[in-house]
Amino acid sequence: MTQDELKQAVAEAAVEYILPMLESDTIVGVGTGSTANLFIDELAKHKAKFDGTVASSEASTARLKGHGVPVYDLNSVDSIRVYVDGADESNDHLHLIKGGGAALTREKIVTACSDEFVCIADESKLVKVLGDFPLPVEIIPMARGHVARELVKLGGDPVYREGVVTDNGNSILDVYNLEILDPIALEKSIDEIVGVVTNGLFAKRSADVLLLATKDGIKTLK
Ligand code: 5RP
């Protein structure tokens, strides 16, 4: 199977997984990226079974609306039953690196508001130690130099993501060459740097379930 076929398979598996949760008043949190896009396309086939969604990016909002799926402002909903999103890397503890699509801040906010976080990925994303994928950090633009110097002190090599402005009007530094042995500690340390909005480690609040598409079928990790 190709990587695209694996992504399609896990998008379909995610809809099967959440179908029993869907009721007329259910709000579904929807992530961002190529895997999340396939999930959106599958979820839309069941739009009559739930109330609507909260999306983690303008891109996902547009895709959902294109399918006629209602998208609510986060502040107008009481709760989100389940959040479904992809990842750039996951370890065995379901600590993630996210933000390859620059949506990490809204993704982390929607995660925080959701009862359950279901991560969907193909098997290439499962790693022993996080950090081969450069860690995205969303920053206030004027703090770029300061944050970069602090990230070097933490052992990383930050690179400015040229030409990218997040949905929140901010910039991204991608931090290379981190071997992330303690994701929770690093997530906290980076969050403490003045000028950082969010970092792409989802470890303090990890995924609850990882649906992993493999050539042998979908594996469910908890
Ligand atoms: C976007 C993300 C995505 O979930 C992550 O980049 C994975 O994307 P894809 O499904 O395209 O591989 O965090 O900010």
160-175 pLDDT per residue, tens? 999 999 999 999 999 9
Q: Are strands 52-55 and 27-30 parallel, antiparallel or unpaired?
A: parallel
pLDDT for residue 125? 97
Pocket test for ligand 1, best of 88, 138, 161 (most atoms within 8 A of CB): 88
- Our answer to whether residue 42 is catalytic in this structure is no
Residue nearest to atom 5 of ligand 1 (CA): 87
Q: What pTM value is reported for the model?
A: 0.97
Identify the segments of the chain with pLDDT beneath 50.
none
- Which residue puts its alpha carbon closest to atom 10 of ligand 1? 35
pLDDT at residue 26, as a whole number? 98
Q: Whose CA is nearest to atom 8 of ligand 1?
A: 33
State the pLDDT at residue 99: 98
Predicted local distance difference test score (pLDDT) of residue 166:
98
Neighbour tally for 152: CB within 10 Å: 12
Looking at residue 149, its pLDDT comes to 98
CA distance 143 to 155: 19
Straight-line distance from the first to the last Cα atom of the chain, in angstroms, rounded to the nearest whole number: 24
Residues with a CB atom less than 6 Å from ligand 1:
31-35, 85-88, 98-104, 107
Question: What CA–CA distance (Å, rounded) separates 41 from 26?
Answer: 18
